[in-house]
Structure 1
Amino acid sequence: MFVDAYTCAKFFIYYLCARLLTQGKLDEKYFFSINRICKIIAVIFFVLALHDAFLSPWFPVADFRYFTNSVMLFFEHPEYLARASMTVLFILAYNYRYYKHNIYYIIMLTIVMILTFRTKAIISTFIIYILYIYFVKFKFKSLLPVGVGAVGGTAYLGYDSLNKYYVEIEESARLILTNDGIQIANNYFPIGSGFGSFASSMAAQYYSKLYMKLGYYRRKDIGMGEGRKGNFLSDTFWPIVIAQTGWLGLFSFCLAIISMLIYIIQSRKSDVYYFWVALSIMAHEIIASFAESAFFHPTAMAEFLLLGLITSIHEFPREEKKAKD
Protein backbone atom coordinates (compact mmCIF):
# COMPACT_ATOMS: atom_id res chain seq x y z
CA MET A 1 0.00 0.00 0.00
CA PHE A 2 2.77 2.44 0.90
CA VAL A 3 4.72 1.61 -2.26
CA ASP A 4 1.61 2.14 -4.37
CA ALA A 5 0.79 5.39 -2.58
CA TYR A 6 4.27 6.69 -3.37
CA THR A 7 3.98 5.46 -6.97
CA CYS A 8 0.78 7.42 -7.42
CA ALA A 9 2.24 10.61 -5.98
CA LYS A 10 5.88 10.56 -7.05
CA PHE A 11 5.38 12.42 -10.34
CA PHE A 12 3.98 15.38 -8.39
CA ILE A 13 6.69 15.02 -5.72
CA TYR A 14 9.46 15.15 -8.35
CA TYR A 15 7.84 18.14 -10.02
CA LEU A 16 7.33 20.11 -6.78
CA CYS A 17 10.76 19.32 -5.32
CA ALA A 18 12.54 20.31 -8.53
CA ARG A 19 10.45 23.47 -8.74
CA LEU A 20 10.69 24.59 -5.10
CA LEU A 21 14.22 23.55 -4.15
CA THR A 22 15.88 25.35 -7.07
CA GLN A 23 14.08 28.69 -6.88
CA GLY A 24 16.44 31.52 -7.74
CA LYS A 25 19.33 29.13 -8.41
CA LEU A 26 18.90 28.41 -12.15
CA ASP A 27 18.62 30.41 -15.36
CA GLU A 28 17.42 29.51 -18.85
CA LYS A 29 20.97 28.50 -19.84
CA TYR A 30 21.05 25.78 -17.19
CA PHE A 31 20.64 22.98 -19.75
CA PHE A 32 23.34 24.27 -22.10
CA SER A 33 25.90 21.97 -20.49
CA ILE A 34 24.09 18.81 -21.62
CA ASN A 35 22.92 20.05 -25.03
CA ARG A 36 25.88 18.43 -26.78
CA ILE A 37 25.29 15.16 -24.90
CA CYS A 38 21.65 15.22 -26.02
CA LYS A 39 22.74 15.72 -29.63
CA ILE A 40 25.12 12.77 -29.41
CA ILE A 41 22.36 10.61 -27.95
CA ALA A 42 20.04 11.68 -30.77
CA VAL A 43 22.58 10.69 -33.42
CA ILE A 44 23.26 7.32 -31.77
CA PHE A 45 19.56 6.51 -31.44
CA PHE A 46 18.92 7.64 -35.02
CA VAL A 47 21.71 5.60 -36.63
CA LEU A 48 21.00 2.45 -34.61
CA ALA A 49 17.25 2.70 -35.17
CA LEU A 50 17.65 3.04 -38.93
CA HIS A 51 20.02 0.08 -38.99
CA ASP A 52 17.77 -2.20 -36.94
CA ALA A 53 14.64 -1.19 -38.87
CA PHE A 54 15.96 -1.78 -42.38
CA LEU A 55 19.02 -4.03 -42.05
CA SER A 56 19.88 -7.12 -40.05
CA PRO A 57 19.28 -5.83 -36.48
CA TRP A 58 22.06 -5.65 -33.92
CA PHE A 59 19.58 -5.59 -31.05
CA PRO A 60 16.37 -7.51 -30.33
CA VAL A 61 13.30 -6.13 -32.13
CA ALA A 62 9.65 -6.21 -31.12
CA ASP A 63 6.48 -6.97 -33.09
CA PHE A 64 6.13 -6.40 -36.83
CA ARG A 65 4.09 -3.31 -37.67
CA TYR A 66 3.35 -1.74 -41.06
CA PHE A 67 6.64 -2.26 -42.94
CA THR A 68 9.21 -3.38 -40.35
CA ASN A 69 9.66 -4.50 -36.77
CA SER A 70 9.38 -2.05 -33.89
CA VAL A 71 12.88 -1.08 -32.82
CA MET A 72 13.85 -0.96 -29.17
CA LEU A 73 17.68 -1.04 -29.39
CA PHE A 74 19.22 -1.89 -26.00
CA PHE A 75 16.02 -1.09 -24.08
CA GLU A 76 13.67 -3.67 -22.63
CA HIS A 77 10.68 -2.47 -24.67
CA PRO A 78 10.06 -0.02 -27.56
CA GLU A 79 8.10 2.16 -25.13
CA TYR A 80 11.26 2.79 -23.09
CA LEU A 81 13.17 3.86 -26.20
CA ALA A 82 10.31 6.17 -27.16
CA ARG A 83 10.22 7.75 -23.71
CA ALA A 84 14.00 8.19 -23.57
CA SER A 85 13.90 9.84 -27.00
CA MET A 86 11.03 12.07 -25.91
CA THR A 87 12.89 13.27 -22.80
CA VAL A 88 16.00 14.13 -24.82
CA LEU A 89 13.79 15.87 -27.38
CA PHE A 90 12.26 18.06 -24.68
CA ILE A 91 15.71 19.25 -23.55
CA LEU A 92 16.73 20.03 -27.12
CA ALA A 93 13.45 21.88 -27.64
CA TYR A 94 13.95 23.96 -24.50
CA ASN A 95 17.44 24.96 -25.69
CA TYR A 96 16.15 25.70 -29.19
CA ARG A 97 15.81 29.42 -28.45
CA TYR A 98 19.63 29.62 -28.49
CA TYR A 99 20.58 26.55 -30.56
CA LYS A 100 18.49 26.67 -33.74
CA HIS A 101 20.37 23.70 -35.21
CA ASN A 102 18.77 21.54 -32.52
CA ILE A 103 15.89 21.11 -34.95
CA TYR A 104 17.93 18.56 -36.92
CA TYR A 105 18.38 16.40 -33.84
CA ILE A 106 14.73 16.82 -32.91
CA ILE A 107 13.82 15.46 -36.35
CA MET A 108 16.21 12.52 -35.81
CA LEU A 109 14.50 11.64 -32.53
CA THR A 110 11.11 12.01 -34.23
CA ILE A 111 12.13 9.36 -36.75
CA VAL A 112 13.32 7.12 -33.92
CA MET A 113 9.94 7.40 -32.18
CA ILE A 114 8.14 6.65 -35.44
CA LEU A 115 10.23 3.47 -35.81
CA THR A 116 9.17 2.31 -32.35
CA PHE A 117 5.60 2.38 -33.73
CA ARG A 118 4.24 3.46 -30.36
CA THR A 119 1.05 5.34 -31.20
CA LYS A 120 1.32 7.43 -28.02
CA ALA A 121 4.80 8.68 -28.92
CA ILE A 122 3.83 9.46 -32.51
CA ILE A 123 0.74 11.43 -31.46
CA SER A 124 2.72 13.29 -28.78
CA THR A 125 5.36 14.23 -31.34
CA PHE A 126 2.62 15.47 -33.66
CA ILE A 127 1.36 17.70 -30.84
CA ILE A 128 4.87 19.05 -30.19
CA TYR A 129 5.23 20.17 -33.81
CA ILE A 130 1.73 21.68 -33.90
CA LEU A 131 2.44 23.70 -30.75
CA TYR A 132 5.78 24.87 -32.13
CA ILE A 133 4.39 25.98 -35.49
CA TYR A 134 1.39 27.74 -33.97
CA PHE A 135 2.83 29.40 -30.88
CA VAL A 136 6.59 29.70 -31.51
CA LYS A 137 6.91 30.03 -35.27
CA PHE A 138 3.86 32.15 -36.05
CA LYS A 139 3.43 33.59 -32.54
CA PHE A 140 -0.35 33.11 -32.38
CA LYS A 141 -1.94 33.61 -28.96
CA SER A 142 -5.43 32.09 -29.19
CA LEU A 143 -5.76 28.57 -27.80
CA LEU A 144 -8.98 27.61 -29.60
CA PRO A 145 -7.70 26.87 -33.14
CA VAL A 146 -4.68 24.86 -32.03
CA GLY A 147 -6.80 23.08 -29.41
CA VAL A 148 -9.34 21.99 -32.00
CA GLY A 149 -6.59 20.97 -34.41
CA ALA A 150 -4.67 19.02 -31.77
CA VAL A 151 -7.75 17.18 -30.53
CA GLY A 152 -8.85 16.41 -34.09
CA GLY A 153 -5.39 15.20 -35.12
CA THR A 154 -5.04 13.13 -31.97
CA ALA A 155 -8.44 11.54 -32.51
CA TYR A 156 -7.54 10.72 -36.12
CA LEU A 157 -4.11 9.26 -35.32
CA GLY A 158 -5.28 7.40 -32.23
CA TYR A 159 -8.58 6.09 -33.60
CA ASP A 160 -7.20 2.71 -34.66
CA SER A 161 -5.61 2.00 -31.29
CA LEU A 162 -8.65 3.09 -29.28
CA ASN A 163 -10.95 1.12 -31.55
CA LYS A 164 -8.74 -1.95 -31.25
CA TYR A 165 -8.42 -1.97 -27.47
CA TYR A 166 -11.84 -0.63 -26.48
CA VAL A 167 -14.20 -1.73 -29.27
CA GLU A 168 -12.97 -4.52 -31.55
CA ILE A 169 -11.51 -6.74 -28.81
CA GLU A 170 -14.54 -7.39 -26.66
CA GLU A 171 -12.57 -8.60 -23.66
CA SER A 172 -9.32 -6.69 -24.01
CA ALA A 173 -7.37 -6.12 -20.80
CA ARG A 174 -7.73 -2.36 -21.05
CA LEU A 175 -11.48 -2.49 -21.54
CA ILE A 176 -11.93 -4.97 -18.69
CA LEU A 177 -9.77 -2.95 -16.29
CA THR A 178 -11.62 0.25 -17.17
CA ASN A 179 -15.09 -1.23 -16.74
CA ASP A 180 -14.18 -3.02 -13.52
CA GLY A 181 -12.40 0.08 -12.20
CA ILE A 182 -15.60 2.10 -12.60
CA GLN A 183 -17.60 -0.62 -10.87
CA ILE A 184 -15.13 -0.73 -7.97
CA ALA A 185 -15.33 3.06 -7.60
CA ASN A 186 -19.09 2.78 -7.37
CA ASN A 187 -18.92 -0.08 -4.86
CA TYR A 188 -16.40 1.73 -2.64
CA PHE A 189 -17.81 5.24 -3.10
CA PRO A 190 -16.34 7.81 -2.68
CA ILE A 191 -12.74 6.91 -1.68
CA GLY A 192 -12.19 3.71 -3.69
CA SER A 193 -10.71 0.35 -2.75
CA GLY A 194 -7.36 1.67 -1.51
CA PHE A 195 -3.76 1.63 -2.70
CA GLY A 196 -2.33 -1.63 -3.97
CA SER A 197 -5.75 -3.13 -4.65
CA PHE A 198 -6.36 -2.82 -8.40
CA ALA A 199 -4.71 -2.30 -11.82
CA SER A 200 -1.29 -1.16 -10.53
CA SER A 201 1.97 -3.08 -10.72
CA MET A 202 1.90 -3.62 -6.95
CA ALA A 203 -1.61 -5.04 -7.15
CA ALA A 204 -0.47 -7.45 -9.86
CA GLN A 205 2.80 -8.36 -8.11
CA TYR A 206 1.15 -9.22 -4.81
CA TYR A 207 -2.05 -10.42 -6.47
CA SER A 208 -4.77 -8.33 -4.91
CA LYS A 209 -7.73 -10.12 -3.37
CA LEU A 210 -9.95 -8.07 -5.64
CA TYR A 211 -8.54 -9.96 -8.63
CA MET A 212 -9.81 -13.27 -7.33
CA LYS A 213 -13.23 -11.78 -6.60
CA LEU A 214 -13.37 -10.41 -10.14
CA GLY A 215 -12.26 -13.66 -11.73
CA TYR A 216 -8.72 -12.63 -12.61
CA TYR A 217 -6.92 -15.96 -12.30
CA ARG A 218 -3.15 -15.76 -12.36
CA ARG A 219 -1.84 -17.78 -15.27
CA LYS A 220 1.33 -17.10 -17.22
CA ASP A 221 -0.09 -17.90 -20.65
CA ILE A 222 -2.94 -15.35 -20.73
CA GLY A 223 -2.40 -13.12 -17.72
CA MET A 224 -5.98 -12.78 -16.49
CA GLY A 225 -6.85 -16.45 -16.91
CA GLU A 226 -9.93 -18.29 -18.10
CA GLY A 227 -12.34 -16.18 -16.12
CA ARG A 228 -11.29 -12.90 -17.74
CA LYS A 229 -9.47 -13.04 -21.07
CA GLY A 230 -6.75 -10.47 -21.55
CA ASN A 231 -3.07 -9.75 -21.41
CA PHE A 232 -2.27 -7.93 -18.17
CA LEU A 233 -3.35 -7.56 -14.57
CA SER A 234 -2.14 -3.97 -14.76
CA ASP A 235 -2.10 -2.04 -18.00
CA THR A 236 -3.67 1.41 -18.02
CA PHE A 237 -3.56 4.54 -15.91
CA TRP A 238 -7.13 5.70 -15.33
CA PRO A 239 -8.43 2.41 -13.87
CA ILE A 240 -5.76 2.74 -11.16
CA VAL A 241 -6.93 6.23 -10.20
CA ILE A 242 -10.64 5.48 -10.46
CA ALA A 243 -10.61 2.18 -8.56
CA GLN A 244 -7.97 2.81 -5.89
CA THR A 245 -8.83 6.39 -4.98
CA GLY A 246 -12.48 6.47 -6.00
CA TRP A 247 -14.40 9.35 -7.51
CA LEU A 248 -13.04 11.70 -4.87
CA GLY A 249 -9.48 10.77 -5.78
CA LEU A 250 -10.23 11.10 -9.48
CA PHE A 251 -11.61 14.59 -8.93
CA SER A 252 -8.57 15.59 -6.85
CA PHE A 253 -6.14 14.22 -9.42
CA CYS A 254 -7.87 15.97 -12.32
CA LEU A 255 -7.87 19.20 -10.28
CA ALA A 256 -4.10 18.93 -9.77
CA ILE A 257 -3.50 18.35 -13.49
CA ILE A 258 -5.80 21.24 -14.44
CA SER A 259 -4.01 23.57 -12.02
CA MET A 260 -0.67 22.67 -13.61
CA LEU A 261 -2.09 23.25 -17.08
CA ILE A 262 -3.57 26.62 -16.11
CA TYR A 263 -0.20 27.81 -14.79
CA ILE A 264 1.53 26.66 -17.99
CA ILE A 265 -1.09 28.25 -20.27
CA GLN A 266 -0.78 31.57 -18.45
CA SER A 267 2.94 31.63 -19.28
CA ARG A 268 2.52 31.62 -23.06
CA LYS A 269 2.75 35.42 -23.36
CA SER A 270 5.83 35.78 -21.15
CA ASP A 271 7.96 32.78 -22.19
CA VAL A 272 6.77 30.90 -25.25
CA TYR A 273 9.59 28.36 -25.13
CA TYR A 274 8.79 27.33 -21.57
CA PHE A 275 5.11 27.19 -22.53
CA TRP A 276 5.86 25.04 -25.58
CA VAL A 277 7.97 22.46 -23.76
CA ALA A 278 5.92 22.38 -20.53
CA LEU A 279 2.62 21.96 -22.36
CA SER A 280 4.17 19.27 -24.59
CA ILE A 281 5.27 17.30 -21.52
CA MET A 282 1.77 17.45 -20.04
CA ALA A 283 0.18 16.57 -23.38
CA HIS A 284 2.48 13.56 -23.73
CA GLU A 285 1.54 12.18 -20.32
CA ILE A 286 -2.17 12.80 -20.81
CA ILE A 287 -2.10 11.02 -24.18
CA ALA A 288 -0.07 8.15 -22.70
CA SER A 289 -2.54 7.79 -19.83
CA PHE A 290 -5.07 6.13 -22.13
CA ALA A 291 -2.77 3.21 -22.90
CA GLU A 292 -0.27 2.82 -20.05
CA SER A 293 0.49 3.82 -16.46
CA ALA A 294 1.66 7.25 -17.75
CA PHE A 295 2.05 9.60 -14.76
CA PHE A 296 2.94 6.59 -12.59
CA HIS A 297 5.41 5.11 -15.08
CA PRO A 298 9.02 4.97 -13.77
CA THR A 299 10.41 6.71 -16.85
CA ALA A 300 7.90 9.56 -16.52
CA MET A 301 9.84 10.88 -13.54
CA ALA A 302 12.56 12.27 -15.80
CA GLU A 303 9.98 14.37 -17.64
CA PHE A 304 8.44 15.73 -14.45
CA LEU A 305 11.87 16.47 -13.00
CA LEU A 306 12.57 18.44 -16.17
CA LEU A 307 9.17 20.14 -15.92
CA GLY A 308 9.88 21.19 -12.34
CA LEU A 309 13.29 22.59 -13.26
CA ILE A 310 12.10 24.66 -16.21
CA THR A 311 9.13 25.89 -14.14
CA SER A 312 11.57 27.02 -11.46
CA ILE A 313 13.59 28.86 -14.11
CA HIS A 314 10.43 30.48 -15.48
CA GLU A 315 9.04 31.45 -12.09
CA PHE A 316 12.16 32.51 -10.21
CA PRO A 317 15.10 32.87 -12.64
CA ARG A 318 18.52 33.42 -11.13
CA GLU A 319 19.44 37.08 -11.08
CA GLU A 320 22.81 37.96 -12.53
CA LYS A 321 25.21 39.30 -9.93
CA LYS A 322 26.02 42.93 -10.42
CA ALA A 323 29.61 43.75 -11.12
CA LYS A 324 31.44 45.34 -8.20
CA ASP A 325 32.33 48.97 -8.52
Structure 2
Amino acid sequence: MKLSLKLLVLMAILAVVVIWANFEKFSIYFITGYDEGAARTYMYYTSFEMLGDYFPFGSGFGTFGTDASGRYYSPLYYKYGLNFIYGCRPDDYQTDHSFFMDTFFPVVIGQFGIIGTLLFIKFWMKRLKEASLVQLQKYKLFMIAFVYMGIESIASSSFLGAPSVGMMMTMGLCLNIKIKNYAEGKYNSSGLQRREVP
Protein backbone atom coordinates (compact mmCIF):
# COMPACT_ATOMS: atom_id res chain seq x y z
CA MET A 1 0.00 0.00 0.00
CA LYS A 2 1.66 3.21 -1.16
CA LEU A 3 0.82 6.76 -0.19
CA SER A 4 -0.65 8.64 -3.10
CA LEU A 5 -2.40 11.98 -3.54
CA LYS A 6 -5.75 10.18 -3.84
CA LEU A 7 -5.20 8.27 -0.58
CA LEU A 8 -4.09 11.42 1.27
CA VAL A 9 -7.18 13.31 0.05
CA LEU A 10 -9.45 10.43 1.13
CA MET A 11 -7.77 10.33 4.56
CA ALA A 12 -8.17 14.12 4.94
CA ILE A 13 -11.87 13.91 3.99
CA LEU A 14 -12.37 11.05 6.45
CA ALA A 15 -10.66 13.06 9.22
CA VAL A 16 -12.90 16.08 8.53
CA VAL A 17 -16.04 13.90 8.58
CA VAL A 18 -15.00 12.25 11.86
CA ILE A 19 -14.23 15.61 13.53
CA TRP A 20 -17.50 17.10 12.21
CA ALA A 21 -19.53 14.15 13.52
CA ASN A 22 -17.83 14.35 16.92
CA PHE A 23 -17.18 18.09 17.06
CA GLU A 24 -19.02 18.61 20.35
CA LYS A 25 -16.77 16.16 22.20
CA PHE A 26 -13.70 17.37 20.30
CA SER A 27 -14.51 20.93 21.34
CA ILE A 28 -14.99 19.99 25.00
CA TYR A 29 -11.74 18.03 25.11
CA PHE A 30 -9.49 20.52 23.33
CA ILE A 31 -11.14 23.97 22.92
CA THR A 32 -13.90 25.06 25.31
CA GLY A 33 -13.09 22.54 28.05
CA TYR A 34 -10.33 24.71 29.50
CA ASP A 35 -12.77 27.57 30.23
CA GLU A 36 -15.35 25.13 31.54
CA GLY A 37 -12.88 23.42 33.88
CA ALA A 38 -12.99 20.00 32.18
CA ALA A 39 -10.47 17.65 33.78
CA ARG A 40 -9.45 15.97 30.50
CA THR A 41 -8.65 19.31 28.90
CA TYR A 42 -6.61 20.39 31.91
CA MET A 43 -4.69 17.11 31.81
CA TYR A 44 -3.71 17.76 28.19
CA TYR A 45 -2.76 21.41 28.76
CA THR A 46 -0.81 20.56 31.90
CA SER A 47 1.11 17.73 30.23
CA PHE A 48 2.42 20.17 27.61
CA GLU A 49 3.44 22.61 30.35
CA MET A 50 5.33 19.77 32.00
CA LEU A 51 7.30 19.17 28.78
CA GLY A 52 9.12 22.43 29.40
CA ASP A 53 9.20 22.28 33.20
CA TYR A 54 10.62 18.75 33.35
CA PHE A 55 12.74 18.74 30.20
CA PRO A 56 13.90 16.27 28.86
CA PHE A 57 12.84 13.19 30.87
CA GLY A 58 9.49 14.29 32.34
CA SER A 59 8.25 14.16 35.92
CA GLY A 60 8.74 10.40 36.41
CA PHE A 61 6.68 7.27 37.01
CA GLY A 62 3.42 7.55 38.91
CA THR A 63 3.43 11.34 39.19
CA PHE A 64 0.74 12.35 36.71
CA GLY A 65 -2.41 10.87 35.18
CA THR A 66 -2.08 7.44 36.80
CA ASP A 67 -3.71 5.53 39.63
CA ALA A 68 -0.64 6.05 41.83
CA SER A 69 -0.72 9.81 41.30
CA GLY A 70 -4.28 9.89 42.64
CA ARG A 71 -3.82 7.36 45.43
CA TYR A 72 -0.82 9.19 46.92
CA TYR A 73 -1.95 12.53 45.47
CA SER A 74 1.00 13.83 43.52
CA PRO A 75 2.28 17.32 44.43
CA LEU A 76 2.09 18.15 40.71
CA TYR A 77 -1.69 18.51 41.00
CA TYR A 78 -1.14 21.31 43.52
CA LYS A 79 1.67 22.84 41.46
CA TYR A 80 -0.47 23.14 38.32
CA GLY A 81 -3.74 23.99 40.08
CA LEU A 82 -5.49 20.71 39.26
CA ASN A 83 -6.44 20.26 42.91
CA PHE A 84 -9.36 22.65 42.24
CA ILE A 85 -10.59 20.83 39.11
CA TYR A 86 -13.61 18.56 39.46
CA GLY A 87 -12.36 14.98 39.11
CA CYS A 88 -8.76 15.79 40.09
CA ARG A 89 -9.30 16.98 43.66
CA PRO A 90 -7.73 14.97 46.52
CA ASP A 91 -11.14 13.58 47.59
CA ASP A 92 -12.07 12.52 44.04
CA TYR A 93 -9.83 9.44 44.01
CA GLN A 94 -11.81 6.17 43.64
CA THR A 95 -15.12 7.97 43.20
CA ASP A 96 -17.49 7.85 40.23
CA HIS A 97 -16.14 11.19 39.01
CA SER A 98 -12.40 10.42 39.29
CA PHE A 99 -10.38 11.61 36.27
CA PHE A 100 -6.91 10.56 37.46
CA MET A 101 -6.67 7.70 34.92
CA ASP A 102 -9.00 9.14 32.31
CA THR A 103 -6.58 9.80 29.45
CA PHE A 104 -3.43 8.17 28.13
CA PHE A 105 -1.50 10.67 26.04
CA PRO A 106 -1.02 13.20 28.88
CA VAL A 107 0.60 10.38 30.88
CA VAL A 108 3.22 9.80 28.16
CA ILE A 109 3.83 13.51 27.56
CA GLY A 110 3.94 14.56 31.22
CA GLN A 111 5.63 11.61 32.92
CA PHE A 112 8.18 10.72 30.25
CA GLY A 113 8.92 14.13 28.77
CA ILE A 114 10.19 14.85 25.30
CA ILE A 115 12.58 11.87 25.31
CA GLY A 116 9.85 9.40 26.31
CA THR A 117 7.37 10.91 23.86
CA LEU A 118 9.85 10.64 20.98
CA LEU A 119 10.67 7.03 21.94
CA PHE A 120 6.93 6.25 22.06
CA ILE A 121 6.49 7.72 18.57
CA LYS A 122 9.57 5.86 17.30
CA PHE A 123 8.23 2.58 18.72
CA TRP A 124 4.95 2.94 16.83
CA MET A 125 6.65 4.14 13.64
CA LYS A 126 8.71 0.93 13.69
CA ARG A 127 5.54 -1.16 14.19
CA LEU A 128 3.90 0.63 11.24
CA LYS A 129 6.96 -0.11 9.10
CA GLU A 130 6.79 -3.79 10.12
CA ALA A 131 3.06 -3.84 9.32
CA SER A 132 3.79 -2.76 5.75
CA LEU A 133 5.73 -6.02 5.25
CA VAL A 134 2.95 -8.46 6.19
CA GLN A 135 0.07 -9.81 4.10
CA LEU A 136 -2.66 -7.34 3.16
CA GLN A 137 -5.29 -8.99 5.40
CA LYS A 138 -2.97 -8.79 8.42
CA TYR A 139 -2.06 -5.21 7.52
CA LYS A 140 -5.72 -4.18 7.45
CA LEU A 141 -6.41 -5.88 10.78
CA PHE A 142 -3.32 -4.25 12.31
CA MET A 143 -4.39 -0.80 11.09
CA ILE A 144 -7.93 -1.20 12.46
CA ALA A 145 -6.53 -2.12 15.89
CA PHE A 146 -3.91 0.66 15.70
CA VAL A 147 -6.44 3.38 14.79
CA TYR A 148 -8.88 2.11 17.42
CA MET A 149 -6.20 2.32 20.16
CA GLY A 150 -5.16 5.79 19.01
CA ILE A 151 -8.71 7.16 19.09
CA GLU A 152 -9.70 5.34 22.28
CA SER A 153 -6.65 6.72 24.11
CA ILE A 154 -7.76 10.32 23.58
CA ALA A 155 -10.41 9.98 26.29
CA SER A 156 -9.43 6.73 28.02
CA SER A 157 -6.38 5.11 29.56
CA SER A 158 -6.66 2.26 27.06
CA PHE A 159 -2.98 1.35 26.96
CA LEU A 160 -2.92 1.08 30.77
CA GLY A 161 -6.01 -1.08 31.19
CA ALA A 162 -7.85 -4.21 30.11
CA PRO A 163 -9.09 -2.85 26.73
CA SER A 164 -5.53 -2.86 25.43
CA VAL A 165 -4.90 -6.57 25.97
CA GLY A 166 -6.97 -7.89 23.07
CA MET A 167 -5.95 -5.12 20.69
CA MET A 168 -2.23 -5.39 21.49
CA MET A 169 -2.36 -9.17 21.11
CA THR A 170 -4.10 -8.75 17.76
CA MET A 171 -1.43 -6.33 16.56
CA GLY A 172 1.33 -8.62 17.83
CA LEU A 173 -0.11 -11.62 16.00
CA CYS A 174 -0.44 -9.59 12.80
CA LEU A 175 3.23 -8.61 12.98
CA ASN A 176 4.51 -12.06 13.91
CA ILE A 177 5.97 -13.17 10.61
CA LYS A 178 7.58 -16.13 12.41
CA ILE A 179 4.20 -17.92 12.63
CA LYS A 180 4.46 -18.99 8.99
CA ASN A 181 8.11 -19.98 9.42
CA TYR A 182 7.24 -21.99 12.56
CA ALA A 183 4.66 -23.95 10.58
CA GLU A 184 7.35 -24.73 8.01
CA GLY A 185 9.69 -25.99 10.74
CA LYS A 186 12.22 -23.15 10.53
CA TYR A 187 11.57 -21.99 14.11
CA ASN A 188 11.00 -23.91 17.35
CA SER A 189 8.18 -23.23 19.84
CA SER A 190 10.12 -20.45 21.61
CA GLY A 191 10.55 -18.54 18.35
CA LEU A 192 14.27 -19.28 18.07
CA GLN A 193 15.64 -20.37 14.73
CA ARG A 194 16.33 -24.09 14.52
CA ARG A 195 19.92 -25.14 14.03
CA GLU A 196 20.73 -27.48 11.22
CA VAL A 197 21.93 -30.81 12.62
CA PRO A 198 24.94 -32.12 10.67
TM-score by length of 1: 0.48
User: CA offset at residue 146 of structure 1?
Assistant: 4.2
Decide which of 163, 173, 198 is 1:299's aligned counterpart. 163
The one of 70, 73, 79 equivalent to 1:207 is: 73
Closer, same or farther in 2 for the Cα pair 1:266/1:311, shift >3 Å? closer
2:182 counterpart of 1:182: no
1:211-250 aligned at under 5 Å gives the runs 211-217=77-83, 222-225=86-89, 232-250=99-117
Alignment map for 1:20-31 (pairs within 5 Å): none
CA 1:263–1:206: 2 relative to 1, 3 Å = same
1:194 aligns with 2:194: no
1:224 Cα offset (Å): 2.7
- SS of 1:234's partner is coil
| Counterpart Cα distance in 2 of 1:315 and 1:144 | 32
Cα distance in 1 for partners of 2:76, 2:41 equals 17
Which residue is equivalent to 2:25?
Answer: 161
Correspondence 1:286 to 2:150 = yes
Q: Which structure's relative contact order is higher, taking Cα pairs within 8 Å and 6+ residues apart? A: 1
Query: Per-residue displacement from partner, 1:141-190 (whole Å, max 9, x unpaired)?
Result: 85435433432333223322111222233221111111111111211100
Could you tell me which residue of structure 2 aligns to residue 263 of structure 1? 130
Residues 17-63 of structure 1: CA deviation (Å, up to 9, x unaligned): xxxxxxxxxxxxxxxxxxxxxxxxxxxxxxxxxxxxxxxxxxxxxxx
Percent of residue pairs bearing the same amino acid type: 25
Uncovered stretches (5+) of structure 1, i.e. residues with no partner: 1-134
RMSD: 2.7
TM-score for the superposition, normalised by structure 2: 0.75
Query: Is the 2:130–2:175 Cα contact (8 Å) retained in structure 1?
Result: no
For 1:55-204, list aligned pairs within 5 A.
Answer: 143-169=7-33, 170=35, 171-204=37-70
Q: Is the 8 A contact 1:172 1:231 kept in 2?
A: no
Q: Report runs of 4+ in structure 1 exceeding 4 Å deviation.
A: 140-143
- Mapped to 2, the partners of 1:172 and 1:287 lie a distance apart of 19
CA distance in 1, matches of 2:28, 2:84: 24
* Aligned residue in 2 for 1:132: none
**Closer/same/farther in 2, CA of residues 214 and 274 from structure 1, 3 Å limit:** same
**Once the two structures are superposed, what CA deviation does each residue of 1:246-284 show, in whole Å capped at 9, x if it has no partner?**
0111111011111111221343xxx22101100100000
